[in-house]
Chain A
Amino acid sequence: MQNTSINFKRQVTIKLADVRLQDALSRLQTRFVEGRSAVIGEIHDLQETRNAAAEIRDRVLNDLEHWLLHFERQATARGAIVHWAETGEEANRIVAEIAAQHGVRSASKSKSMVSEECGLNDALEQAGVKVTETDLGEYILQLAREAPSHIVAPVVHKNKEEISDLFADKHRLPRKSGIAELCREAREVLRPAFLNADMGISGGNFLVAETGSVLIVTNEGNGRLVTTLPRVHVAITGIEKVVPTLEDVTTLLRLLPRSATGQSITNYVSVLTGVKAKEDQDGPEHFHIILLDNGRSSLIGGEMQEMLRCIRCGACMNHCPVYQNIGGHAYGWVYPGPMGSILTPLLGGIEKSPDLPNASTFCGACAAVCPVKIPLPDLLRKLREKQVQRGMKSRQEMFMLKAWAWLALHPRIYALATRMAVRIMSMLGGKDKLIHRLPAAAGWTDGRDFPAPTGMTFREMYRKEKSQ
Chain B
Amino acid sequence: MEKTKRVGLFVTCLVDSLRPRIGFAAIKLLEAAGCEVAVPEQQTCCGQPGYNSGDRKSAEELALKFLGEFEAFEYVVLPSGSCAGMIRVHYPDLFRNDPALQERFAALGQRTYELTDFLANVAKLEDVPGNFKGSLTYHDSCSGLRELAVYTQPRSLLAKMPGVELREMVESTTCCGFGGTFSIKYGELSARMSDNKCRHIAAAHAGAVVCGDLGCLLNIEGRLRRTGDHTTGVLHVAEVLAGLDKDE
Query: A327-365 interface mask toward B, CB cutoff 8 Å, 1 = contact, 0 = none?
Result: 000000000000000000000000000000011111111
Number of A-B contacts (CB under 8 A): 196
Most chain B CB within a 10 A radius of its CB, from A321, A404, A456: A321
Q: Give the docked Cα–Cα distance between A365 and B176 (Å).
A: 12
Q: Assess whether A180 is interfacial by the CB under 8 Å rule.
A: no
Out of B58, B179, B218, name the residue touching A363 (CB < 8 Å). Answer: B179
Tell me which residues across on chain B come within 8 A of A414, comparing CB atoms: 44
Stretch in B100-108, B128-136, B152-160, B188-196 with 4+ CB within 8 Å of A: B188-196
Out of B17, B39, B58, name the residue touching A405 (CB < 8 Å). Answer: B58
Interchain CB contact under 8 A, B17 and A443: no
Query: B169-192 interface mask toward A, CB cutoff 8 Å, 1 = contact, 0 = none?
Result: 001011101111011111111111
Stretch in B113-121, B142-150, B238-246 with 4+ CB within 8 Å of A: B142-150
Q: Give the docked Cα–Cα distance between A103 and B178 (Å).
A: 57
Q: Assess whether A388 is interfacial by the CB under 8 Å rule.
A: yes
| Cβ < 8 Å to A, chain B residues 12-53 | 13, 15-21, 23-24, 39, 41-45, 47, 49-53
Distance (whole angstroms) from the CB of B214 to the closest CB of chain A: 10
Kindly report which residue of chain B lies nearest to residue A455, judged by CB atoms. Answer: B20
Most chain A CB within a 10 A radius of its CB, from B24, B45, B49, B184: B184
Interface residues contributed by chain A, number (CB under 8 Å): 63
Out of A358, A404, A456, name the residue touching B185 (CB < 8 Å). Answer: A358
Interchain CB contact under 8 A, A405 and B50: yes
Interchain CB contact under 8 A, B62 and A321: no
Tell me which residues across on chain A come within 8 A of B18, comparing CB atoms: 422, 451, 453
Interchain CB contact under 8 A, B20 and A364: no
Distance (whole angstroms) from the CB of A342 to the closest CB of chain B: 14
Tell me which residues across on chain B come within 8 A of A359, comparing CB atoms: 182, 186, 189
Interchain CB contact under 8 A, B189 and A12: yes
Does more than half of chain A's interface fall in helix, strand or loop, or is it mixed?
helix
Q: Assess whether A449 is interfacial by the CB under 8 Å rule.
A: yes
Kindly report which residue of chain A lies nearest to residue B11, judged by CB atoms. Answer: A458
Interchain CB contact under 8 A, A408 and B52: no
Tell me which residues across on chain A come within 8 A of B49, comparing CB atoms: 401, 404-405
Stretch in B70-78, B203-211, B220-228 with 4+ CB within 8 Å of A: B220-228
Interface residues contributed by chain B, number (CB under 8 Å): 66
Query: A377-405 interface mask toward B, CB cutoff 8 Å, 1 = contact, 0 = none?
Result: 00001011111110001000110011011
Tell me which residues across on chain B come within 8 A of A2, comparing CB atoms: none
Interchain CB contact under 8 A, B58 and A401: yes
* Given A408-B62, A458-B11: A442 and B187 interface contact (C-beta under 8 Å): yes
Tell me which residues across on chain B come within 8 A of A19, comparing CB atoms: none
In the complex, 7 of the A-B residue pairs with CB atoms within 8 angstroms, ordered by the A residue number, are A363-B179, A364-B142, A386-B54, A408-B13, A411-B44, A444-B187, A459-B43
Binding site for A on B (CB under 8 A): 11, 13, 15-21, 23-24, 39, 41-45, 47, 49-56, 58, 61-62, 65, 142-143, 146-147, 171, 173-175, 177-180, 182-194, 196, 217-219, 221-223, 225-226, 230, 234
Given contacts A409-B61, A459-B41, 20 further A-B contacts (CB under 8 A): A12-B189, A16-B188, A321-B175, A321-B196, A358-B182, A358-B185, A361-B180, A383-B54, A385-B56, A405-B49, A405-B61, A408-B13, A408-B62, A418-B17, A447-B223, A448-B191, A448-B194, A451-B18, A451-B221, A462-B24
